[in-house]
Amino acid sequence: MPMQVLINLFIGLLWMFFQNDWSALSFLSGYLFGLCVLFVIRRFLRSKFYLFTLHAVISLFLLFIWEMFISSILVIRKIITPQIRIKPGIVAMETSLEGDIEVTLLALLITLTPGSVVMEVSPDYKILYTHVMDIPELSDAVLRSRNRFEEAIKKVTRK
């Protein structure tokens, strides 16, 4: 992927030379042209076209913000009810992701989902121990959102 960005910058620079016009505008048009070229030859590249990866990263970031919003509203609602009736506990969750980056991202995302904080990761990265705020109400939702996050993270890191 860094190779693709470099090629794209090179095409933009070359375009600027061809135009004999040293301005940001001509560089930008050359960059867009380079994007088109890379999109056409994307079948022959070794890795995925980098705009797709960028799109996946941006959608993952939006998912982050959305989950944070929802979960904090839920936590605030739990706090300001007159009598706190919660059944907290620690739940073990298995994950199919591998490697440092993927597990770290998953742990960050799960910490931001409604009512769950990752407490401990087993040494072989297979099991996440999660503290859930209200087990009867939330454990299904946490499992469902974990599946969604795994999909989104695999789109970013896998080819």
Partner 1 sequence: MSAGHLIELGSVFLILIGTVAGSLSAIGFIRLPDVYNRAHALAKSCTLGVLFVLLGTFLFFLFVERYFSIKLFLGIFFVFLTSPVAAHMTCRAAYRSKVPLAEISVRDDLKEAMSREYNCEQKGGA
Residue 13 within binding range of partner 1, rule CB under 8 A: no
| Tally of CA atoms within 13 A in the half-sphere of 40 that contains its CB | 5
Residue 68 within binding range of partner 1, rule CB under 8 A: yes
Q: What is the dihedral of CA 129, 73, 70, 54, to 10 degrees?
A: -90
Residue 141 within binding range of partner 1, rule CB under 8 A: no
Residue 12 near residue 30 (C-beta atoms within 8 A): yes
Residue 88 within binding range of partner 1, rule CB under 8 A: yes
Residue 54 within binding range of partner 1, rule CB under 8 A: no
How many angstroms separate the CA atoms of 76 and 131, rounded? 17
Binding window for partner 1 (CB under 8 A); candidates: 41-49, 51-59, 116-124, 144-152: 116-124
Which residue from 8, 71, 95, 145 is in contact with partner 1, where contact means CB under 8 A? 71
How many angstroms separate the CA atoms of 8 and 37, rounded? 9
How many angstroms separate the CA atoms of 156 and 60, rounded? 8
Q: Which is nearer to partner 1, 71 or 95 (CB)?
A: 71
Binding window for partner 1 (CB under 8 A); candidates: 7-15, 27-35, 44-52, 64-72: 64-72
Residue 127 within binding range of partner 1, rule CB under 8 A: yes
Residue 60 near residue 53 (C-beta atoms within 8 A): no
Q: Which is nearer to partner 1, 16 or 93 (CB)?
A: 93
Residue 107 within binding range of partner 1, rule CB under 8 A: yes
Helices marked H in the chain: 2-19, 24-40, 50-80, 100-112, 135-157
- Please report, as ranges, the residues that interact with partner 1 according to CB under 8 A: 64, 68-69, 71-72, 75-76, 79-80, 84, 86-92, 107-108, 111-112, 115, 117-120, 122, 127, 129, 131, 133, 135
